[in-house]
Amino acid sequence: MIGFGRQVPPELRHVQIYFLEKNIKLEIAQSFYEHYSSKSWKNKKGNLLNNWKSLAWDWIMKEL
């Protein structure tokens, strides 16, 4: 299903909902989205990312 973690690239609204569910500010969700959008949602090897939610969780943990 769309927006449940595997769709890459995700829609901004799905990223925002995920961050809000974790009680994280929308500004942080926006910075996460912009960062990975600028990288075309690819990893260092140039492969499309598998699961944006696992990356989002790592991003959140770095922010805390």
3-state secondary structure 30-44: HHHHHHHHHCCCECC
pLDDT at 64 (0 to 100): 87
pLDDT at 15 (0 to 100): 96
Judge whether 35 lies within some domain.
yes
Domains identified in the chain, total number: 1
Judge whether 24 lies within some domain.
yes
Whether the Cβ atoms of residue 49 and residue 36 lie closer than 8 Å to each other: yes
Whether the Cβ atoms of residue 9 and residue 37 lie closer than 8 Å to each other: yes
Domain range for 32 is 12-57
Judge whether 40 lies within some domain.
yes
pLDDT at 3 (0 to 100): 60
Q: Is 44 helix (H, G, I), strand (E, B) or coil?
A: coil
pLDDT at 50 (0 to 100): 87
Judge whether 37 lies within some domain.
yes
Cα–Cα dist 11/44, whole Å: 22
**Which parts of the chain register pLDDT below 70?**
1-5
Judge whether 3 lies within some domain.
no
Who contacts 39 (Cβ-Cβ below 8 Å, separation ≥6)? Answer: none
Judge whether 51 lies within some domain.
yes
Judge whether 52 lies within some domain.
yes
